Structure 1
């Protein structure tokens, strides 16, 4: 006899697969993840807009974000949504030099594997940790990490953690990077030049991980629960919301920061 837990887990994964195989249901979830990501990026930009003088830079990008949000429901495919996400992220990254204003941390353009400058090295390192965090939280639910909606499912690798991470990268990784650089907790001495790129040194990684751990333990007020929860707990709650969506209990609404 299978236990109730095994039956529940099997039912959730079955529903997860159904939502992936049904083009309409998959597109709907992919739209929700993209909308959540854009809203979080907007939140970050509004936070810095209120603190910096160059408001026009932020106003232009925020206006562009609103247009992209309005276009999301008309997308006909996940590929279209990914293109929209790529456009908004490019616009978002264009504000980083205004936020940081440091000659040792100029953005230029997004580069990965390997990153070509210090800022890209920080983004890649931070994002990789958030992907791992999301994966570890998925393992505490009935969800299968191999079935994602925005990022293509491939049963040899994980994709659901990449979907969930879209909601949290701006408010966890990016804000931490701005803080570490602006407070001079990370400087150019914390990086190593490779033949084809730049990476954080071991000391730099220790500083980043230590501060990220502190951030994950800090709490924010959760308006639906009416209490404070840690950032790590927020990730788990996001997964529970997705689970309810898949089971037809309540439509998934991405978390939006309110600071």
Structure 2
């Protein structure tokens, strides 16, 4: 089983990262604020104005440690990484499958079915834990959404083509986010629908940042298995889009990112003071709020779960790597189909 490596998040404006022997050192205003042994790191994620020394970049590239640069809102800016590994035959097989819509359909069907089923799982957890205390209208809405998502998961497996499948995925997402406000139990916050670029309310600010972090983890998982993160099955090709990483993250949006978002608000780990409304209409996390989110994100990734296909317990953060491994085995012909992950 692959070891779950740590991610170093650098959120301080003006921080400087440098190499000291086999360690990554963080300095602010010339003063060392922390260091991490490089052999424990899988990636470094930098927010806003962070400087990385050329020797450290070279060291990370040689050691397989990726460096990602994100805006303060979590929008992906750039990524520094070393030479691509992986079997060229695997990538050729991936390219052949993704270029032919008929061949790509079976993988995409599994991804969409798992996404809808995992969204249904979030709804079911809420009904199980809090249904008795909910208003009748909210409970009825969640019951209806749970059935719609069950239908969506079933219909996805029989979609005749990718366009129909994408339409079903969009309808399921619309139903899910229409019900999402009923999952919030913190009266200080509301949610009126998904918006981004920029996010215009605190809930969307948290979702956008969590999705950006999850996308980086899924890209790293694809690359670790020798897959091309740009060539997807469900998401259309677009310059600069890591379509396969976005495909992979669909299975994890609800149980990993959405559940954590709800926990942060419902447990009052995040409050109004953790958000800053900009003149442009954007709502961003403050430094303190972002630190709270990143700590909770790392804790959630360390949570142990049993993977049904491997029948082993692993940290949740390793599951994208396990799914990328299964996809690679399917493309090599070792598995008849891609077993998408469904949260139990």
TM-score (norm 1): 0.92
Match of 2:202 among 118, 131, 134: 118
Post-superposition shift, 1:8?
A: 6.3
3-state SS in 2 of match to 1:206: helix
Q: Which runs of 4+ in 1 moved over 6 A?
A: none
Partner residue, 2:140: 56
Pair 1:252 & 2:338 matched:
yes
Listed as ranges, the matches of 1:227-242 within 5 Å are 227-242=312-327
Q: How far apart, CA to CA, are the structure 1 residues paired with 2:300 and 2:206?
A: 16
Post-superposition shift, 1:11?
A: 0.8
Post-superposition shift, 1:7?
A: 10
Q: How far apart, CA to CA, are the structure 1 residues paired with 2:315 and 2:264?
A: 20
Q: How far apart, CA to CA, are the structure 2 residues paired with 1:174 and 1:52?
A: 17
- Relative to structure 1, the CA distance from residue 201 to residue 151 in structure 2 (aligned partners, 3 Å threshold; closer, same or farther) is same
Considering Cα pairs closer than 8 Å and 6+ residues apart, tell me whether 1 or 2 has the greater RCO.
1
3-state SS in 2 of match to 1:220: strand
> Relative to total residues, which structure has the larger helix share, 1 or 2?
1
- Relative to structure 1, the CA distance from residue 115 to residue 9 in structure 2 (aligned partners, 3 Å threshold; closer, same or farther) is same
Q: How far apart, CA to CA, are the structure 2 residues paired with 1:72 and 1:227?
A: 28
Q: Can you give the 5+ residue segments of structure 2 that lack an aligned partner in the other structure?
A: 1-83
Of 141-150 and 22-31, more deviation after overlay is shown by: 22-31
Encode CA deviations 1:220-252: one digit per residue, 9 max, x unaligned.
Answer: 122333331011211111001111121222111
- Relative to structure 1, the CA distance from residue 223 to residue 157 in structure 2 (aligned partners, 3 Å threshold; closer, same or farther) is closer
Of 97-106 and 234-243, more deviation after overlay is shown by: 97-106
Partner residue, 1:197: 282
Q: Can you give the 5+ residue segments of structure 1 that lack an aligned partner in the other structure?
A: 1-5
Greater radius of gyration (CA): 2
Match of 2:300 among 197, 204, 215: 215
Q: How far apart, CA to CA, are the structure 1 residues paired with 2:219 and 2:85?
A: 22
TM-score (norm 2): 0.70
Listed as ranges, the matches of 1:51-200 within 5 Å are 51-53=129-131, 54=134, 55-154=139-238, 156-194=240-278, 195-200=280-285
3-state SS in 2 of match to 1:94: helix
The answer on whether the counterparts of 1:216 and 1:231 sit within 8 Å (CA) in structure 2 is yes
